[in-house]
Amino acid sequence: MDIVNTTPHQSSADKVLPHEATVSAPVNIAVIKYWGKRDAGLILPTNSSLSVTLSQDHLCTRTTVCAAAEFGGDRLWLNGVEEDVTASARLCNVISTARKLRAAVEQADSAAPRLSTWGLHVCSENNFPTAAGLASSASGYAALVSALGTLFKLPQSAAELSRVARVGSGSACRSILGGFVAWQAGVEGDGSDSLAEQVAARAHWPQLQALVLVVSDRKKTVSSTAGMQTTVATSPLFAERVRNVVPRRMAVMRAAIAARDFAAFATLTMQDSNQFHAVCQDTFPPIAYMNDTSHAITNLVHAFNTAVGRVAAAYTYDAGPNAVIFALHDDMRTLVQLLTRCFPRPDSMPAAAFYEDPFAVFASPDLVGRDIDDPAVAALAKSIGTFTAGSVRRIIHTEVGDGPRVLPLSESLLNHAGMPKHARA
Amino acid sequence: MDIVNTTPHQSSADKVLPHEATVSAPVNIAVIKYWGKRDAGLILPTNSSLSVTLSQDHLCTRTTVCAAAEFGGDRLWLNGVEEDVTASARLCNVISTARKLRAAVEQADSAAPRLSTWGLHVCSENNFPTAAGLASSASGYAALVSALGTLFKLPQSAAELSRVARVGSGSACRSILGGFVAWQAGVEGDGSDSLAEQVAARAHWPQLQALVLVVSDRKKTVSSTAGMQTTVATSPLFAERVRNVVPRRMAVMRAAIAARDFAAFATLTMQDSNQFHAVCQDTFPPIAYMNDTSHAITNLVHAFNTAVGRVAAAYTYDAGPNAVIFALHDDMRTLVQLLTRCFPRPDSMPAAAFYEDPFAVFASPDLVGRDIDDPAVAALAKSIGTFTAGSVRRIIHTEVGDGPRVLPLSESLLNHAGMPKHARA
């Protein structure tokens, strides 16, 4: 993250307006999964994890924070709807931690305005619909902490700020950095060594791309916060994962990324997703985040790899039925063709609403799936079978991305009065 | 199993007819699961397992074996269709092992007819449709071995004969005995100590009943024979299950059965089913036997237990999506009501074809589900939701059963010429 100076700006009425900062932050997808806390208050994990930051061009949270002495207190708007700030202990925790860091800045510099004592207005929007079922807490807390870091001119590095984001949502600490990011579990009781570290920058592996498959689901799901602690308490297999499997896998995954070894990266990504869902199934009561469509996607990826005779694609699933599929640029066209054949969009849905093609993989989005005539793909698709149209609701084609971006004042989500520009009724 | 004498019988033409025996054998459902072989040839398991034998009144395989010097060789009919005996190494193994035991009998008694040298005709039928998706290899091999034991007048005990059944299909060894049966993994390389043992007789716990829920499925499934060895080879969590979890659970399960402690029995049954499917999910490629309907049944059972404030029902799933649910007699009526409300039969299906009511739980089968008006059940069903009609295709209500039964000659599946009475075209 680039920490840039914020400047108070003047209204037409010549009144000094509140200090503010606007930041966007990315989603990340874990390839070695975080599941289980050793300290629920500080959000200290039972094991290290490793993720890929996805491009903010396609999925991101944008957050504006604004401090003013005139504000009566803290207020928060999420996607245009005001929320009770005090209702979330985690949110309060993040804001008060950031204020403490700001207070230290003010103590060292008597000229610094006393932002730590002012009210805050926070306005946050996701560029992806909530209905997409994509977890927004990681990008959301990463954006909030980055925005506060910018507003408060905090001297801490991104890695140090990741500790603050971690207190909001564990996986948020990994969205503070771009590229390939490890979250070290750490051993200290105060969480001082439980932070994010960049394993490789975005530019290290430009061939790597990803598809987010949004899967239809009717189930109520167990929240990851509740689910992971039930796993820690009840799964007899979980300790084995934490003690023996993950430490080994972290080392292998780092090496695979360093070597840009897609087969190794992909195999381990699939295996660790599988094991995460295995310990969920070993939980009591058991937790099933994947559904029949998810399992069908898994089988399709294995069938694809078998058909091409190498590990050309990898799936991974978080605490829900959506799949993220990794593949190298050169395999994407074939893979998307296969996916759109086996998981057709409803006839009523335009191709571009189903599959976004930012990389111009297809000459025309109308060609996706049913019209392109690659006989090998068609034969493979036939052997896999066709699933109910709409089982996969949307395919978002994206790539590895950078860390939080500080945006210009023109991108602010708050107006000159510090109120949301796009409030919903 | 009662070993009774078989007597050659006379035809109207006064010709001495072949020696024969007819036996029926039960299905069993494991509550501590068998998954993984340490020796694939002898079918020696990686861990001990424990099962409940289900009543043959509702689910069984019936097998007639007939030996005659005149038979040109061995022949086999399964559900009316002739199969190639030599195609199955396991079947050949079972028959040749039984013949060796018979040869010892003949060596000790020079008057005994030389059955071990004669051809065999084997005719086997399940009383449940193959379409029900219920595994028939356990009851099938148990019936075959019991029939051969009877025909050959083998002096071996049922436990000793279970070793022979084990060579046909691992779980078949548990169908050689009634009630609650443990299959000791054993440690010997020749499998001599890997056999079944009755933990408690059927009469020990007459309150215990079971429902078999036949679940619709469109997936091709991985065979258990192939699947379990992939698990042994690829699941990092599997060894932990074998080494530390199962031995502890075997002891707890024996104690729960001895004490007729339903809550302990049920909890462990659910946990071990969950863990079996967890190690399947940790396999690479992963194996998913349960589908969305299976998971919905799991959630229903937990919701039911929560609603009644005690552990009143338990689910377990083998290598497929079908559920077996255990409950005590007094809870069955409520449980069946709930199940038939949440998993309605298609409107076109008569109630009796969907749910068999051998225990007269309901006054009339027409009352099942939609018409009975228990407000508490209706409210719980509403909170769970209603699944697509036909997701559960059939409910078979059964109970704990006895071991293989020797049937009278009148029940033979072969005619006087040693050919099937009910051959299919």
One domain, residues A219 and A178:
no
Q: Is the pLDDT of residue A96 over 70?
A: yes
Tell me whether A282 touches chain B (CB under 8 Å): yes
Name the maximum alpha-carbon separation found in chain B: 72
Q: Is residue B8 part of a domain?
A: no
Which CATH number covers residue B241? 3.30.70.890
One domain, residues B137 and B228:
no
* Average pLDDT, rounded, for chain A: 91
Q: Nearest by CB to B278, from A245, A278, A290: name it.
A: A278
Contact B298 A286 (CB under 8 A): yes
Residue with tokens 């013949």, as numbered in its chain: B99
Write the pLDDT tens digit of every residue in A379-421: 999 999 999 999 999 999 999 999 999 999 999 999 999 999 9
One domain, residues B258 and B337:
yes
One domain, residues A252 and A387:
yes
- Given this model, what pLDDT does residue A221 score? 77
Q: Which residues of chain B does A292 touch, with a Cβ-Cβ cutoff of 8 Å?
A: 219, 291-292
Question: What is the secondary structure of A370-425 as a DSSP string?
Answer: TT---HHHHHHHHHH--PPTTSEEEEEEEEB--S-EEEPGGG-SB-TTSSBTT---
Tokens standing for residue B43: 């079918």
One domain, residues A232 and A178:
no
Write the pLDDT tens digit of every residue in A148-170: 999 999 999 999 999 999 999 99
The tally of domains found in chain B comes to: 2
Write the pLDDT tens digit of every residue in B269-284: 999 999 999 999 999 9
Which CATH number covers residue B134? 3.30.230.10
Contact A278 B281 (CB under 8 A): yes
Contact A290 B291 (CB under 8 A): no
Contact A282 B274 (CB under 8 A): yes
Q: Is the pLDDT of residue B2 over 90?
A: no
Tokens standing for residue A262: 């897609």
What CA–CA distance (Å, rounded) separates A121 from A71?
8
Tell me whether B237 touches chain A (CB under 8 Å): yes
Write the pLDDT tens digit of every residue in B389-415: 999 999 999 999 999 999 999 999 999
One domain, residues A59 and A190:
yes
CA B135 to chain centre: 7
One domain, residues B76 and B131:
yes
pLDDT, mean of residues A113-130: 92
Tell me whether A274 touches chain B (CB under 8 Å): yes
Tokens standing for residue A342: 């086996």
Tell me whether B288 touches chain A (CB under 8 Å): yes
One domain, residues A370 and A226:
yes
Exposure b/e, A199-225, CB count within 10 A at least 16 = b = bbebeebeebbbbbbbbebeeeebebe
Residue of A nearest to B285 (CA): A302
pLDDT, mean of residues A221-241: 94
Asked whether the bond before B285 is cis by omega within 30 degrees of 0, the reply is yes
Q: Is A151 helix (H, G, I), strand (E, B) or coil?
A: helix
Write the pLDDT tens digit of every residue in A315-335: 999 999 999 999 999 999 999
Q: Is residue B60 part of a domain?
A: yes
- Given this model, what pLDDT does residue B131 score? 57
Give the residue among A62, A75, A86 at the shortest CA–CA distance from A119.
A75
Give the residue among B256, B235, B355, B391 at the shortest CA–CA distance from B314.
B256
3-state percent helix, strand, coil for chain A, nearest multiple of 5: 40, 20, 40
Tokens standing for residue B221: 């499934």
One domain, residues A390 and A261:
yes
Give the residue among B194, B181, B226 at the shortest CA–CA distance from B29.
B181
* Average pLDDT, rounded, for chain B: 91
Write the pLDDT tens digit of every residue in B6-51: 444 444 444 455 699 999 999 999 999 999 999 999 999 999 999 9
Q: Is A69 helix (H, G, I), strand (E, B) or coil?
A: coil
Tell me whether B47 touches chain A (CB under 8 Å): no
- Given this model, what pLDDT does residue B423 score? 76
Among the ranges given (A208-222, A335-349, B64-78, B290-304), the one the predictor scored with the smallest mean pLDDT: A208-222
Give the residue among B266, B269, B257 at the shortest CA–CA distance from B180.
B257
Q: Is the pLDDT of residue A349 over 60?
A: yes
Tell me whether B100 touches chain A (CB under 8 Å): no
Q: Which residues of chain A does B302 touch, with a Cβ-Cβ cutoff of 8 Å?
A: 285
Q: Is the pLDDT of residue A38 over 80?
A: yes
What CA–CA distance (Å, rounded) separates A123 from A145?
13
Q: Testing the interface with B: which of A250, A277, A281, A387 to mutate, by most B Cβ within 10 A? A: A281
Q: Is residue B27 part of a domain?
A: yes
Q: Is the pLDDT of residue A31 over 90?
A: yes
Rg, C-alpha atoms of chain A: 22
Contacts of A258 (CB under 8 A, 6+ apart): A199, A200
Q: Nearest 5°: phi and psi at A217?
A: -150, 145
How many percent of chain A have pLDDT more than 90?
Answer: 83
The three-state DSSP-derived secondary structure of chain B is CCCCCCCCCECCCCCECCEEEEEEEECEEEEECCCCEEECCCCEECCCEEEEEECCCCCEEEEEEEEECCCCCCEEEECCEEECHHHCHHHHHHHHHHHHHHHHHHHHCCCCCCHHHCEEEEEEEECCCHHHCCCCHHHHHHHHHHHHHHHCCCCCCHHHHHHHHHHHCHHHHHHHCCCEEEECCCCCCCCCCCCEEEEECHHHCCCEEEEEEEECCCCCCCCHHHHHHHHHHHCCCHHHHHHHHHHHHHHHHHHHHHCCCHHHHHHHHHHHHHHHHHHHHCCCCCCCCCCHHHHHHHHHHHHHHHHHCCCCEEEEECCCCCEEEEEEHHHHHHHHHHHHHHCCCCCCCCHHHHEECCCCCCCCHHHCCCCCCCHHHHHHHHHHCCCCCCCEEEEEEEEECCCCEEECHHHCCECCCCCECCCCC
Write the pLDDT tens digit of every residue in B191-230: 999 999 999 999 999 999 999 999 988 776 789 999 999 9
Per-residue confidence band for A279, with pLDDT thresholds at 50, 70 and 90: very high
Q: Is residue B419 part of a domain?
A: no
One domain, residues B228 and B341:
yes
- Given this model, what pLDDT does residue B12 score? 44
One domain, residues A372 and A268:
yes
Contacts of B226 (CB under 8 A, 6+ apart): none
Q: Nearest by CB to A284, from B274, B281, B282: name it.
A: B274
Name the maximum alpha-carbon separation found in chain A: 72
Write the pLDDT tens digit of every residue in B134-179: 778 999 999 999 999 999 999 999 999 999 999 999 999 999 999 9
Bigger pLDDT: B361 or A76?
A76
Let me know: does A324 contact A29? Beta carbons within 8 Å.
yes
Per-residue confidence band for B308, with pLDDT thresholds at 50, 70 and 90: very high
Contact A278 B237 (CB under 8 A): yes
Q: Which residues of chain B does A284 touch, with a Cβ-Cβ cutoff of 8 Å?
A: 267, 270-271, 274
One domain, residues A227 and A360:
yes
Q: Is residue A13 part of a domain?
A: no
Burial class (CB in 10 A: 0-12, 13-18, 19+), A160: middle
- Given this model, what pLDDT does residue A362 score? 77
Question: What is the secondary structure of A162-211 as a DSSP string?
Answer: HHHHHHH-GGGGGGGS-SEEEE-----TTSTT--EEEEE-GGG-TTEEEE
What CA–CA distance (Å, rounded) separates A95 from A120?
9
DSSP state of A127: S
Residue of A nearest to B237 (CA): A237
Q: Is residue B12 part of a domain?
A: no
Give the residue among A294, A307, A329 at the shortest CA–CA distance from A374.
A307
Q: Nearest by CB to A282, from B236, B275, B285: name it.
A: B275
Bigger pLDDT: B357 or A108?
A108
Contact B281 A288 (CB under 8 A): no
Q: Is residue B177 part of a domain?
A: yes
Q: Is residue B360 part of a domain?
A: yes
Contacts of A405 (CB under 8 A, 6+ apart): A1, A2, A23, A24, A25, A56
Give the range of the structural domain holding residue A74, as residue numbers without chain letter: 19-201+404-411
- Given this model, what pLDDT does residue B132 score? 62
Let me know: does B344 contact B369? Beta carbons within 8 Å.
yes
Angle between helical axes of B375-384 and B329-342 (0-180°, round to 10): 50
